[in-house]
């Protein structure tokens, strides 16, 4: 039973990963992009937890710990960078017209 | 008796895994449905945190070794500590650099407390 449940979970998580990847590509500013990458890491951790549950153990448990902490460090680094440099395009939403000169490349 | 316990643990674990994955999928969908960066931080962080908590708990119920369960619980505790702090830092960075909210007339406690200018001024 746990194998079938794991397969269903991984299908949902694949869809979530695809959505997060599209969001990261289409993000208007650095904060949105960092949020999208955070979501991608959350999807990855969920997938590894499902894998651990199906396999009943293994090395992936250590990786869940490690990736969670590394994602925290990365988000802190991006937040410090944004505080110093600004978030890129700031004065419009995705519904309004973009200004390519202010987009972070 | 042991068979019954195993079945109950399997069912609870499966429900937690499915619930956690659903929450993560909802967080990813919510990224596209929210109007501004602050709402996106909110919608991406809260379901993702609860989703990871659910999924790791469900995984812990499936593990036979106590050492593995300890590692999973440790990963869960670290996630619950670090994810809100990281998203708070992101929101703070966006606010300090003037990222505009979707509703400019919304209550801004930062302006009320410090007398600072609103974002975009």
Provide the CATH number for the domain around residue A52: 1.10.287.3510
CB-based burial, B67-85: b 16+ in 10 Å, e otherwise: ebbebbeebbeebeebbee
Question: How high is the pLDDT of residue A80?
Answer: 92
**pLDDT per residue over A42-76, tens digit each?**
999 999 999 999 988 888 899 999 999 999 999 99
B33 CB near a chain A CB, below 8 Å? no
A56 in a structural domain: yes
Indicate the domain borders of chain B.
2-99
Q: How many contiguous H segments (helices) and E segments (strands) does chain A have? A: 3, 0
Residues of chain B falling short of pLDDT 50: 120-121
Which phi and psi angles does A88 have, rounded to 5°? 80, -135
Question: How high is the pLDDT of residue A98?
Answer: 43
Which residues in B lie closer than 8 A to residue A2 (C-beta atoms)? 10, 13-14, 62
Question: How high is the pLDDT of residue B1?
Answer: 65
Question: How high is the pLDDT of residue A101?
Answer: 47
Provide the domain limits for residue A67. 2-87
ipTM score assigned to the predicted complex: 0.85
Question: How high is the pLDDT of residue B100?
Answer: 77
Question: How high is the pLDDT of residue A94?
Answer: 41
Question: How high is the pLDDT of residue A99?
Answer: 44
């Amino acid at each position: 039973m746990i194998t079938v449940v794991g397969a269903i979970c991984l299908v949902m998580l694949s869809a979530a990963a695809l959505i997060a990847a599209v969001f990261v590509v289409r993000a208007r500013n650095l904060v949105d992009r960092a949020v999208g990458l955070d979501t991608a890491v959350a999807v990855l951790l969920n997938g590894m937890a499902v894998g651990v549950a199906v396999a009943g153990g293994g090395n992936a448990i250590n990786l869940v710990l490690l990736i969670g902490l590394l994602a925290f460090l990365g988000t802190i680094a991006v937040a410090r960078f944004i505080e110093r440099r600004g978030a890129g395009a700031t004065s419009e939403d995705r519904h309004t017209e973009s200004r390519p000169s202010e987009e972070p490349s | 008796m042991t068979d019954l316990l195993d079945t109950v643990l399997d069912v609870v674990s499966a429900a937690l895994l499915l619930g956690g994955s659903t929450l993560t999928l909802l967080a990813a969908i919510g990224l596209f449905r929210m109007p501004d960066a602050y709402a996106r931080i909110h919608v991406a962080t809260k379901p993702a945190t609860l989703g990871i908590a659910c999924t790791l708990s469900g995984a812990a119920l499936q593990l036979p070794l106590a050492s593995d369960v300890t590692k999973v619980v440790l990963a869960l505790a670290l996630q619950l500590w670090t994810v809100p702090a990281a998203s708070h830092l992101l929101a703070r960075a966006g606010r300090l650099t003037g990222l505009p909210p979707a509703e400019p007339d919304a209550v801004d406690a930062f302006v009320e407390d410090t007398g600072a200018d609103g974002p975009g001024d």
